[in-house]
Structure 1
């Protein structure tokens, strides 16, 4: 089955440990992907405005499944924006407020928001992933469409926290982790795979024609549903269990190596016709 869509997670997957990628090599590959009419999609838990900064020169051609599936853009056009109702947002924030030690970002269409007094070290670290990040004195000040919460917690206690969130808030949000104490609360049933399928519908692409790369808990649905799911060599155990294949690590340009295999019709990829 030929590949018609390639979806890449960013941190720990497409980007190396220095948060960079080989732009020269990828741009050469991308021209070949264009020639074959293979759609390229960035699928990440990060903010759209942060993700697009990596692809300024091809931003008008590619698609983004941002915020873990909460916000989908194709060729700079909004395709989908998730929405939590105000009372749902209030319920989630009320529950979080009763658990000490959680740093919280509220994520929406126009930006992300933290309370005044939030730990400055946390804010500085998060600006790497949220290029639009504002401080508010009260969450009630936020005038935006909200679709995600990004939490930071003690790494050793993340999985018990996720269990509690599922138990108390599972009808509103689903917790997913990218590791290192980070937990995203996405709209239940609204993950990266859902976002990719919205792109697929536009272009008439079947699940078995999708190649996806990921490394962590927020990639599981994406890795398991597609025809070619590749977990990185450096991926978490759940990601490796969800994927059919393994790519070299992100520090060794693993995604680009597998894209080379696609372009050269090497196993497991077979392309009988090229446009």
Structure 2
């Protein structure tokens, strides 16, 4: 069974800690992937407009599972959108605004939205993840399609906040960790693995022909779904236990090393 799809998370996985990757090496590997008919998918919690900025030469011909599966774009074609109803949006926002230590980004199709009143350090950090970020007075009457909330909070409050959000927003949204001091609220069942499933159905690709790479809680479903799920060496222990395989560190081009093995049909891809 040959590999037909490779899906990568970005932060802490495909990108190193400086948010960079070896472009020359990847370009060579990508040319070989195309020759072998292997599709390349970027599956990230990040905004679509942010993700395409990393792949200016090939964004038009690859696919993106953006906003943790909330928005799937394939070869520049809109393929799938999750969407919160106005009522669900308000339910979530009304609760989040009662949490004093949480900064909120409402993730819409056109923009990310966050409050002008938040401190500059947070807004600067948010801009590094959201190519399109609008500063608003409040979250009421925003006209967009919303599929995710990104929350920033002190690390010490992470576990308790995850637990309480799971209970309070049960059935409306699911909290997943997406890195230090950050929680993404996603629509139930609308995760990265769901986005990949949509693309696999479109292309007729089985889970046994898929390689995925990730390092965080929002990668769990896609690491489990693919036959070849690789946790990064820098991933937390619980993520490594879920994945069937392990790749090298994100700062040492761990993903590119494994892609090279895929292309050369080396173990475990030679079965």
TM-score bracket, normalised by the shorter chain, equals over 0.9
Residue 112 of structure 1 corresponds to 112
State the alpha-carbon separation in 2 of the partners of residues 18 and 100 from structure 1. Answer: 30
Partner of 1:192: 192
- Normalization by structure 1: what TM-score? 0.97
**8 Å contact kept, 1:174–1:186:** yes
Name the counterpart of 1:22: 22
Cα deviation digits, residues 117-167 of structure 1 (max 9, x gap): 012110100111100000111212311001000000110211110110010
Separation of aligned partners in 2, 1:102 and 1:183? 10
Aligned: 1:151 with 2:157: no
Question: Partner residue of 1:232?
Answer: 232
Q: In structure 2, what is the equivalent of residue 72 of structure 1?
A: 72
Q: 1:59 is paired with a residue of what secondary structure?
A: coil
Paired positions, count = 271
Quote the Cα distance in structure 2 between the aligned partners of 1:229 and 1:128.
Answer: 28
Give the deviation of 1:270 after TM superposition: 2.1
Determine the C-alpha separation between the residues in 1 that align with 2:173 and 2:15.
28
Superposed structure 1 runs of 4+ greater than 4 Å apart: none
Match of 1:90 in 2: 90
Q: Alpha-carbon deviations, 1:203-256, whole Å to 9, x = none?
A: 100011110000011100010111100000000122111100000000110000
- 2:99 alignment counterpart: 99
Which 5+ residue runs of structure 1 have no aligned equivalent?
none
Q: Unaligned stretches of 5+ in structure 2?
A: none
Q: Distance in 1 between matches of 2:66 and 2:239?
A: 19
Matched residue, 2:212: 212
Distance in 2, matches of 1:169 and 1:192, equals 20
CA RMSD of aligned residues (A): 0.9
